[in-house]
Amino acid sequence: MTPDASDPIEELFARGVTDGLPVVPPTAERVGATVAASGRGGDELIGLVAPANGRATVERVAVNAVMAGCRPEYIPVVIAAVSAICDPEFSLVGVSGTTDAVTPLVIVNGPIRRALEVNCAASVFGAGFRANATIGRAVRLVWVNVGGARPGVISMSTFGQPGRYSYCIGEHEEASPWEPLSVEHGFAAADSTVAVLAAEAPQIVVNAGGRRARDILSTVARAGAVIASPDLAPLGDTLLVIGPEHAATIAADGWSKADVRRFVWEQCQVTVDGARTPKFREPACLHVLVAGGTAGRFSAWVPGWPFRGAPSRLVFRGVATSGLQ
Q: What is the pLDDT of residue 309?
A: 66
Give the pLDDT mean for 16-26: 97
Pair 143, 149: CB distance under 8 Å: yes
Q: Is the pLDDT of residue 278 over 60?
A: yes
Give the pLDDT mean for 284-313: 91
Instruction: Report the 10 Å Cβ neighbour count for 4.
Output: 11
pLDDT per residue as tens digits for the range 47-86:
999 999 999 999 999 999 999 999 999 999 999 999 999 9
Instruction: Rounding to the nearest 10 degrees, give the CA dihedral for residues 103, 109, 112, 115.
Output: 90
Nearest to 90 by CA among 75, 104, 76, 107: 104
Instruction: Report the 10 Å Cβ neighbour count for 226.
Output: 16
The confidence band for 324, taking pLDDT boundaries of 50, 70 and 90, is: low
Spelled out in words, what is the top-level CATH class assigned to the domain 203-302? alpha beta
Sorted by where each begins, the domain ranges of the chain are 8-199, 203-302
Nearest to 282 by CA among 235, 242, 250, 239: 235
pLDDT per residue as tens digits for the range 180-238:
999 999 999 999 999 999 999 999 999 999 999 999 999 999 999 999 999 999 999 99
DSSP structure class, residue 151: B
Specify the range with the lowest mean pLDDT, choosing from 139-153, 228-242, 309-323: 309-323
Instruction: Report the 10 Å Cβ neighbour count for 241.
Output: 26
Question: What residues contact 249, with CB distance under 8 A and at least 6 apart?
Answer: 210, 211, 212, 213, 216, 297
Kind and range of the H or E run holding 299: strand 298-302
Three-state secondary structure call for residue 242: strand
Give the pLDDT mean for 11-36: 97
Q: What is the pLDDT of residue 2?
A: 55
What is the rounded distance in angstroms from the CA atom of residue 116 to the CA atom of residue 133? 12
